[in-house]
Amino acid sequence: MALKKEKDKQQIPIVKKTLTSWVFEGNLKLQLALVAVILLTVAIRVVPLEMQRKIVNEAINLRKVDLLISYCGIYLAAVVLASVLKLLINIIQTRISQRATAEMRKQLYHHILNMPLNFFRNTQPGTVVNSLINELTIPGNFVGMAVAAPLTNIVTLLAFFGYLLILNPALAIISFSIYPVMLYVIPLLQKRVNRDNKRRVNASRNLSSNIVESVSGIHEVQANGAFDIENNKFDTQVDKLMRIRIKWSIFKFAIKVVSNFFINLGPFLIFILGGFLAIKGQLELGALVAFLSAQEKLYDPWKELIEFYQVYQDGSINYRKTMKYFDVDIPNELIPRDRDIYELDVAISVENMSLETEEGIKLLDGVSLEVEPGEHIALVGFSGSGKSTLALCLAQLYSYTSGNATIGDKEISDLTKADITKNIGLVSQAPFIFDGTIRENLMYSYTALHGETCVLDGECEPELDDLVHVLQQSGLFVDVLRFGLNAMVESSSEEFVPVIIKMRETFQKEYGDTVEDWVEFFDENKFLNYATIADNIIFGAPVADEFRNQNLVKSDFFLKFLDDADLTRPMLSLGREIAEQTVDILKNIAHDKHFFEQSPIELEEFEMYEDLVREIKDKNLHQINKQQTMHLLELALRFSPGRHRIAVIPNLLSKMVIEGRYMFRERILQDDPNAIAFFRNDQYIHSQTISNNILFGIVKESNPAAMEKINQFMVALLIGEDFLEKMIEIGMDYQVGTKGNNLSGGQRQKLAIARTFLKSPPVMILDEATSALDNNSQKRIQNVLSRHWKGRSTLIAVVHRLDIVKEYDKVAFLKAGKIVEMGTYEELMAKKGYFYELAYEHK
Amino acid sequence: MNSHMNTNDADMPSEFTANLNAFRQIEFFSGMPIEVIKLFAYLCKRQTYKTGDLIFQQGDDDGCSYYILSGNTKLVFKNEEKEHFIREYGAEHFLSIMSLMSPMLKQFSLVAQEDTVCLVMTRESFSKVVDQFPDIPLRMTQAIGNRVLVSEKKAIAEFEAKEKANLKNLLGISLL
Beta carbons within 10 angstroms of residue A407's beta carbon: 26
**Distance (Å) from the alpha carbon of B46 to chain A's nearest alpha carbon:** 6
**Using CA atoms, how far apart are residues B131 and A216, in angstroms rounded to an integer?**
11
Amino acid at A117: L
Q: Is B125 exposed, middle or buried (0-12, 13-18, 19+ CB in 10 A)?
A: buried
- Which of A587, A618, A593, A592 is CA-nearest to residue B34? A587
Across A438-477, b (16+ Cβ under 10 Å) vs e yields bbbbbbbbbbbbbbeeebeeeeebbeeeebbbbbbbbbbb
**Distance (Å) from the alpha carbon of A537 to chain B's nearest alpha carbon:** 19
**Using CA atoms, how far apart are residues A164 and A157, in angstroms rounded to an integer?**
10
Across A332-356, b (16+ Cβ under 10 Å) vs e yields bbbbbeeeebbebebbbbbeebbbe
- Which of A423, A344, A350, A415 is CA-nearest to residue A764? A423
Report percent pLDDT > 90 for chain B.
29
Does the beta-carbon distance from B49 to A574 stay under 8 Å? no
**Using CA atoms, how far apart are residues A302 and A281, in angstroms rounded to an integer?**
31
Chain A residues close to B60, C-beta within 8 Å: 774-776
**Using CA atoms, how far apart are residues A715 and A709, in angstroms rounded to an integer?**
10
Residues within 8 A of A (CB atoms), B 155-174 only? none
Phi, psi (degrees; rounded to nearest 5) at A744: -80, 170
**Using CA atoms, how far apart are residues A113 and A115, in angstroms rounded to an integer?**
6
- Which of A47, A55, A53, A34 is CA-nearest to residue A81? A47
Nearest CA in chain B to A776: B60
**Using CA atoms, how far apart are residues A401 and A42, in angstroms rounded to an integer?**
61
Q: Are strands A794-798 and A763-767 parallel, antiparallel or unpaired?
A: parallel
**Using CA atoms, how far apart are residues A788 and A699, in angstroms rounded to an integer?**
37
**Distance (Å) from the alpha carbon of B21 to chain A's nearest alpha carbon:** 13
> What confidence score (pLDDT) does residue A575 get?
94
* DSSP string covering A633-669: HHHHHH--TTT-TTS---HHHHHHHHHHHHHHHHHHH
**Using CA atoms, how far apart are residues A647 and A122, in angstroms rounded to an integer?**
47
Q: Which strand (E) or helix (H) includes residue A533?
A: helix A533-538
> What confidence score (pLDDT) does residue A583 get?
93
* DSSP string covering A783-839: HHIIIIITTTSEEEEE-S-GGGGGGSSEEEEEETTEEEEEE-HHHHHHHTSHHHHHH
**Using CA atoms, how far apart are residues B6 and A843, in angstroms rounded to an integer?**
59
Asked whether the beta carbons of A751 and A441 are under 8 A apart, the reply is yes
Asked whether the beta carbons of A438 and A483 are under 8 A apart, the reply is yes
**Using CA atoms, how far apart are residues A376 and A782, in angstroms rounded to an integer?**
11
A590 at the B interface (CB within 8 A)? yes
**Using CA atoms, how far apart are residues A627 and A633, in angstroms rounded to an integer?**
10
**Distance (Å) from the alpha carbon of B159 to chain A's nearest alpha carbon:** 23
**Using CA atoms, how far apart are residues B27 and B18, in angstroms rounded to an integer?**
17
Among A581, A648, A776, select the one facing B12 at the smallest CB separation. Answer: A648
B52 at the A interface (CB within 8 A)? no
Per residue in B65-110, pLDDT (tens digit) is 999 999 999 999 988 778 899 999 999 899 998 888 887 888 899 9
- Which of A722, A715, A714, A732 is CA-nearest to residue A466? A732
Beta bridge partners of A320: none
- Report CA-CA distances (Å) from B85 to B82, B89, B115: 10, 12, 19
Angle at CA of residue B72, ends B67 and B76, nearest 5°? 90
Nearest CA in chain A to B61: A774
Asked whether the beta carbons of A295 and A175 are under 8 A apart, the reply is yes
The interface pTM score, or ipTM, of the predicted complex is 0.84
Amino acid at A278: A
- Which of B169, B33, B122 is CA-nearest to residue A840? B169
Beta carbons within 10 angstroms of residue A136's beta carbon: 22
Across B10-41, b (16+ Cβ under 10 Å) vs e yields beeebbbbbbbebbeebebbeebeebbbbbbb
- Which of A446, A454, A324 is CA-nearest to residue A14? A324
> What confidence score (pLDDT) does residue A766 get?
92
**Using CA atoms, how far apart are residues A430 and B114, in angstroms rounded to an integer?**
39
Phi, psi (degrees; rounded to nearest 5) at A541: -100, 125
Asked whether the beta carbons of A138 and A314 are under 8 A apart, the reply is yes
Phi, psi (degrees; rounded to nearest 5) at A3: -80, -5
Q: Which strand (E) or helix (H) includes residue A427?
A: strand A424-427
pLDDT profile of chain A (843 residues), mean per 10:
47 84 86 89 83 85 87 92 90 90 90 82 77 87 88 83 82 80 84 86 82 73 74 89 91 84 80 84 79 76 82 88 85 77 83 87 90 91 88 88 88 86 86 87 86 79 89 91 86 76 88 82 89 91 84 90 93 94 86 84 90 91 90 94 89 92 91 85 84 88 76 87 89 86 86 92 90 80 89 89 85 91 90 84 59
Q: Which of B9, B12, B14 to mutate to test the interface with A (most CBs of A within 10 A)?
A: B14
Beta bridge partners of A699: A519
Nearest CA in chain B to A593: B128
Chain B residues close to A223, C-beta within 8 Å: 133-135
Q: Which of A648, A747, A770 to mutate to test the interface with B (most CBs of B within 10 A)?
A: A648
> What confidence score (pLDDT) does residue A223 get?
66
Amino acid at A275: G
Query: Quick check: pTM over 0.80?
Result: no
Beta carbons within 10 angstroms of residue A272's beta carbon: 11
